[in-house]
């Protein structure tokens, strides 16, 4: 049905120092701030239940609300991330619920996380159902919804644990649509370490789908992520004289930062460590920056996609 551009008003630098790591202040490699998101609106086929007259009247929006909500651009801040990364602010489901659900309707959030959608639904007198794969969020959702405190509406809560029973493969075969991932599953990577979407903060670290946080710089070529996974940067060879400086460089640029990984044909080294190209959230290519810094050598002991590019960079550094 369309899309809304949500411009996340923010006073902090959310992109991890793009101006420093990009080519600032010169062209051509400045990096755009990812300070917006698209909200895509879809409509389910079929007839929706008819609201009663009273329901309709009690769900009316003011003219101001209507004009704000149905404009193509929304401007409000993102949520402060506590305990759960990728939380959205209550204002987001609040608007969508007012736009598309009558009082007393039931709202579904298939990826419930900390329960922001249910909170917005409760505050707008709508029912809600949420699915969440990670049990650890139940406690966070309970706190967010203040379930221990009875409210004047007499809100009731139910938290159900479910385990899959029966023949899952046969059940999937029955589904009208099945998503087939074109990427081959890398069996050597422990899928339990690559989390589904996000995870509760443990010892004040957090992570979310596709993104990880760098916990520790083990050496110029090896870093540990906050999910416990150790990864090795493709093409990087530490040099004895600049070893400590390279570790310092990485500590400053990536420690505690959110990153994502890309892989090459060869997925693991001889010690079964995952080989990767490491990028900051703002797409800064860390392997390349490290080589450009002149603090590391280039590992040519095996074939990888960026080898030629890295060698060129290394030559430029020497010149």
Ligand X SMILES: C[S@@+](CC[C@H](N)C(=O)[O-])C[C@H]1O[C@@H](n2cnc3c(N)ncnc32)[C@H](O)[C@@H]1O
Of all residues in the shown chain, the one whose CB is closest to ligand X is 113
In the complex with ligand X, the residue whose CB is nearer, 67 or 143, is 143
Beta bridge partners of 212: 259
Q: Which of residues 3-32 bind ligand X (CB under 6 A)?
A: none
| Neighbouring C-beta atoms of residue 160, cutoff 10 Å | 5
77 phi, psi to nearest 5 deg: -70, 155
Q: Which of residues 170-209 bind ligand X (CB under 6 A)?
A: 196-198
Q: Kindly state the number of chain residues that form the binding site for ligand X, as judged by CB under 6 A.
A: 16
DSSP-derived secondary structure letter, 221: S
Q: Which of residues 117-156 bind ligand X (CB under 6 A)?
A: 131-134, 137
- Considering just the CA atoms, what is the radius of gyration of the chain in Å? 24
Measure the CA–CA gap between 294 and 107, rounded to whole angstroms.
Answer: 55
Among 8, 84, 95, 126, binds ligand X (CB under 6 A): 84
In the complex with ligand X, the residue whose CB is nearer, 163 or 318, is 163
In the complex with ligand X, the residue whose CB is nearer, 61 or 138, is 138
**Window of 64-72, 112-120, 241-249, 290-298 that interacts with ligand X by CB under 6 A:** 112-120
Among 16, 113, 297, 314, binds ligand X (CB under 6 A): 113
Measure the CA–CA gap between 129 and 259, rounded to whole angstroms.
Answer: 32
Cβ proximity of 134 and 108 under 8 Å: no
Q: In angstroms, give the least distance from the CB of 111 to ligand X.
A: 3
In the complex with ligand X, the residue whose CB is nearer, 15 or 114, is 114
Q: In angstroms, give the least distance from the CB of 140 to ligand X.
A: 8
Which distant-in-sequence residues (6+ apart) come within 8 Å of 267 by Cβ?
186, 188, 189, 274, 275
Q: In angstroms, give the least distance from the CB of 12 to ligand X.
A: 19
Among 69, 100, 111, 260, binds ligand X (CB under 6 A): 111
Q: In angstroms, give the least distance from the CB of 62 to ligand X.
A: 25
Q: In angstroms, give the least distance from the CB of 70 to ligand X.
A: 22
Site for ligand X contains 227 (CB under 6 A) = no
Site for ligand X contains 114 (CB under 6 A) = yes
Helices (H), the chain: 18-21, 53-57, 63-69, 91-100, 116-123, 137-145, 168-173, 243-254, 286-292, 307-318
Beta bridge partners of 214: 225
In the complex with ligand X, the residue whose CB is nearer, 116 or 238, is 116
Site for ligand X contains 88 (CB under 6 A) = yes
Cβ proximity of 97 and 121 under 8 Å: yes
Among 17, 19, 39, 86, binds ligand X (CB under 6 A): 86
The two tokens of residue 260 are 């994502």
Which distant-in-sequence residues (6+ apart) come within 8 Å of 53 by Cβ?
none
Instruction: Give the residues lining the site for ligand X (CB under 6 A).
Output: 84, 86-88, 111, 113-114, 116, 131-134, 137, 196-198
């Amino acid at each position: 049905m369309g899309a809304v551009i949500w411009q996340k008003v923010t006073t902090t630098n959310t992109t991890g120092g793009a101006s420093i790591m990009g080519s600032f202040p010169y062209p051509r490699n400045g990096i755009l701030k990812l300070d917006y998101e698209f909200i895509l609106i879809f409509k389910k086929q079929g007839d929706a239940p008819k609201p009663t007259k009273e329901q309709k009247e009690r769900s009316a929006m003011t003219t101001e609300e209507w004009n704000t909500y149905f404009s193509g651009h929304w401007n409000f801040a993102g949520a402060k991330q506590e305990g759960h990364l990728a939380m959205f602010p209550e204002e987001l489901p609040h608007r969508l619920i007012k736009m598309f659900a009558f009082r007393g309707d039931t709202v579904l959030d298939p990826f419930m996380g900390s329960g922001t959608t249910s909170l917005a639904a409760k505050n707008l007198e709508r029912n809600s159902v949420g699915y969440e794969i990670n049990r650890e969020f139940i406690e966070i959702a309970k706190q967010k919804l203040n379930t221990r405190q009875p409210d004047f509406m007499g809100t009731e809560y139910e938290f159900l644990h479910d385990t899959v029973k029966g023949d899952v493969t046969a059940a999937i075969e029955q589904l009208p649509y099945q998503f087939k991932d074109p990427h081959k599953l890398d069996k050597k990577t422990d899928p339990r370490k690559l989390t589904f979407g996000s995870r509760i903060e443990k010892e004040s670290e957090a992570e979310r789908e596709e993104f990880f946080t760098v916990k520790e710089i083990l050496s110029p070529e090896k870093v540990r992520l906050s999910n416990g996974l150790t990864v090795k940067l493709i093409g990087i060879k530490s040099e004895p004289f600049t070893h400590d400086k390279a570790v310092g460089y990485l500590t400053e640029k990536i420690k505690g930062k959110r990153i994502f990984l890309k892989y090459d044909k060869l997925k693991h080294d001889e010690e079964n460590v995952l080989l990767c190209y490491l990028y900051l959230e703002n797409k800064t290519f860390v392997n390349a920056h490290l080589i450009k810094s002149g603090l590391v050598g280039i590992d040519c002991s095996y074939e990888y996609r960026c080898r030629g590019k890295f060698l060129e960079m290394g030559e430029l550094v020497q010149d």
